[in-house]
Structure formats: structure tokens, C-alpha cells
Structure 1
Amino acid sequence: MDENEQWIVKEFRERLAAGMDAAALLLLTYAGARTGARRITPLMRLWLGGRLYVIASAAGAARHPAWFHTPPAHRAVVPAGRERDALFAEAVRARPCRADHQARRDRAIPVAGPRRADGR
């Protein structure tokens, strides 16, 4: 791991030790879309109906987060319309701050159901 990745993992572990809800967090490891360089990004996760989802809010940023444009995200299930709205409503129930993220943006914040490289 490079220094940046070591810092991300260290911060992640310290926050878990400080009492963050470990069940709501994951570290996504992926290759950058342009460079192919390995990246690690901490994400809040959501379990619904036995399926893992992540919210591509980037804390309400104007653009989708970088990881959303990577090949693993291309394999993800990204619901639209009513299905996306229902999943996002559940995400807001789990973390009310997500409603503020959506309210600040014209873009519909994606809900992605990532799949592993082996398709599971």
C-alpha cells in the first residue's frame, strides 16, 4: 500500500475504534478509471433484502464520486426510477443526512449494488 492508502486504512480503523458503526462501513478497493492505479475509498454501505448497496453521493458533491466511473461500478446493478427512489428512501432512513445531500443537487444520487469481479 502507498502512503495515502495506509492513511485511509488507518483513519478507517481509528474511526471504527472510536465507535463508528462497523456494519455500515466498507473499504472499496478498485483500479482508477484513467490510470489503472489502485485506489481505496471508504464508503457507507446499506444492506436491503440480503443485498449490498452503496450510495454514490460523495457527501452531496455536484458530480458522482470517482469510484462510480470505474470498471467495478460498471458491473454494478444501478436501479433507476421507482426502484432507485425506494432504495434511496431506505438509505435516508438509515442516514438522514443523505436527504440533505440529495436536496442540494439536481443529479439523482445513484444507488449501486456492486458485484464482485467473479459476478457474485
Structure 2
Amino acid sequence: MQDQYPDIMSRLIGSMPEQIGALVVSGAAGAYVRAVFAPEASWKRRMVEGLAGACGAIFLGGLVGHMLDSLTGGGSWSYLAAGFIMGEGGIAAIRGVRKLILERAAK
């Protein structure tokens, strides 16, 4: 099984759509930037926020990347930009979306 692991990972990465790969890479970069410049004193808290930002990049970044791509026709660059933005500001974006959804549900 140990010998098959690199082969399995290379096939998995190779079969991923180009946009998902762009979101993963750029989301991780955005989360890293957030963790470096975060005002949190605790590295554990920075890592958790970075992980949340990366998750936001993967899930919300796809939506934003699709919107950017349809507006600009930028292709993978749209997904890279969206992933980075969501990775860096993913927590704020998630809070904003939750607030929007919860306010609509309350009305």
C-alpha cells in the first residue's frame, strides 16, 4: 500500500478539474497570507482560521471564480484570484453569506 500511495495521489490530482486545483493552491496561499498577518497571538488560532479560509476558498471560491470567469473570460486565472481572495478573507465572506441567508430566513 505504501508503494501505491504516490500513484494514487498523482491519479487523483491528475483527474481533478483544473478549477479545483487552482482553488486549492490559491486558497492555501491566501490562507497562509491570512495566518501570517492575522492579529491573533495564538498560532493554533491562526492555523484554525487558515484552515477555515482554505475551506472557504474551495467552496465559495468556486462560486466567485465562476462569476469572475463569466464576467471576464479569464479562465483559470479567475479561479486563482477567487481562491486567493476567499483563502485570505474566507472567514469574513462566510460570515457575510451566513448573515445574508439568516436575515432572509428571518423575514
Query: Does the TM-score normalized on the shorter chain lie above 0.5?
Result: no
* TM-score computed with the length of structure 2 as normaliser: 0.28
Q: Which has the larger helix fraction?
A: 2
Relative contact order (C-alpha < 8 Å, sep 6+): which is higher?
2
Q: Which has the larger strand fraction?
A: 1
Larger Rg, first or second structure (1 or 2): 2
* TM-score computed with the length of structure 1 as normaliser: 0.26
